[in-house]
Amino acid sequence: MTVAIDALYILRDWQKGRTRLHTIEELDEYFREVENCFARSSDEGLAALNKIRFTYKMPRRVDPFSQEYRQFQMDLYRQISGRDTYDSYVNERSEFDFAALKDRPFPYFTQSHRQVGEQLMAQGHVINSLSIKAGSKILEFGAGWGNLTTTLALMGHQVTAVEIDPLMNDMLRHRAATLRVPLTVVASGMLDFDTTEKFDAVIFYEAFHHCIDPVRMLDKVTELLNPTGVVVFASEPITIFPYPWGLRTDGLSLWSIRKYGWLELGFDRKFWHRLLAAKGFSLERRKLSGVHIASLYIGKKTGRQ
C-alpha cells in the first residue's frame, strides 16, 4: 500500500497562522533548528517541537485488527523515518554518553524543573495506585532509565526489568549496583521475552506504545500475570485519537521517528477499552490533576475473552 503524506506543517505562531511543509527535506531543515533549541535548553527544544503537527489520511473502513491496517502504518513509518524496515533491536536504541549520565540520568540532566517535577509526580502516581502486597513480583517492560524500576526495588519488591536497549541495560545494572538493590535485568524485546514465572503486576511506563504488535503483546501479558495480578499502562498516549491506533502526529513523535527510528504509536481511548475488553481485562483510569503524563490505566483479569 502506497502512503502519501497529506501535509507536514508547523504552527510557528498561533496568532499569525501556519507554515506548511510538504517534504521530508523541509521537515529535516526545521529539525536542525530544533537541535539548536535543545542545545540551549531541553524546555526550549520541546517548545519548538510542540509547534509541529502532522496530518495523513487513513484508508476508510479498514479493520484496525487487519494486516492491511498494520501494513499502512508500517509504510507510513518507513516514509517518515527514512528506513527500509523496522527492527526493534536496531531501532529502539538511545544515543547518550553513558559515563556522563550514569549518575544523573533522565530527567535530572534536563535541568528542567517542569520535566523533573512531572516525572516524579507521574512515577509517584503509579506507585500510589498499585494495590499489591510488599515483596510482590513485578515485571516492567521497557524499563529505560530505571527511575520507577529502582524505586520499586528499593521498596522490597522482586523486580524484573525487560529492556531492549543495551545502553539502558547498562544503566539499569549500574543504578541497581549503586543503590545495592536486587534487580533482574533481561536484555530482550517485549514480544521475545520468555519465562514460566507469573507476576503480581506487569508495568508499562512510557513503553507500550513502542510495541510493534500491541494485540500479541496483550496476549503475552495475560500469560504472565497471576490470576489476581494487574497490568499498569502509565504515561501512555491513550487519548482522543483520530484513528483507532497508529503513528502519532505530534512534533516530538515525528522527531523521535525521524532522528532515532523509534516506533511511536498512539491509541484512541474508545478503541483501547474495546481492545482490552476483548483480551479479558476490565480497566480503571486514574488521573492526576494538572499532570498530563500521570494518566494511567490499571487492568484486571475478568476471565472473559
Residue 24: its pLDDT value, please?
Answer: 86
Contact, 141 vs 232, CB < 8 A? no
Domains of the chain from N-terminus onward: 112-247+264-301 (3.40.50.150)
Residue 52: its pLDDT value, please?
Answer: 87
CA neighbor of 226 nearest in space, from 196, 251, 192: 196
Residue 15: its pLDDT value, please?
Answer: 55
Full-model pTM? 0.92
State how far the Cα of 166 lies from the Cα of 89, in Å rounded to an integer: 9
Contact, 152 vs 159, CB < 8 A? yes
- Given a cut of 50, the residues of the chain with pLDDT beneath it are 1-4
CB atoms within 10 A of CB 102: 15
Contact, 288 vs 121, CB < 8 A? yes
Cα distances from 40 to residues 111, 118, 163, 217, in angstroms, run 11, 21, 30, 39
Beta bridge partners of 5: 56
Task: Please state the three-class secondary structure of 237-273 as a single string.
Answer: CEECCCCCEEECCEHHHHHHHHHHCCCCEEEEHHHHH
CA neighbor of 118 nearest in space, from 133, 103, 108, 128: 108
SS3 assignment, position 155: coil
Half-sphere exposure of 69 (CA within 13 A, CB side): 14
Residue 51: its pLDDT value, please?
Answer: 87
Residue type (1 letter), 13: D
Contact, 86 vs 211, CB < 8 A? no
Cα distances from 155 to residues 58, 92, 124, 159, in angstroms, run 46, 29, 13, 10
Residue 16: its pLDDT value, please?
Answer: 60
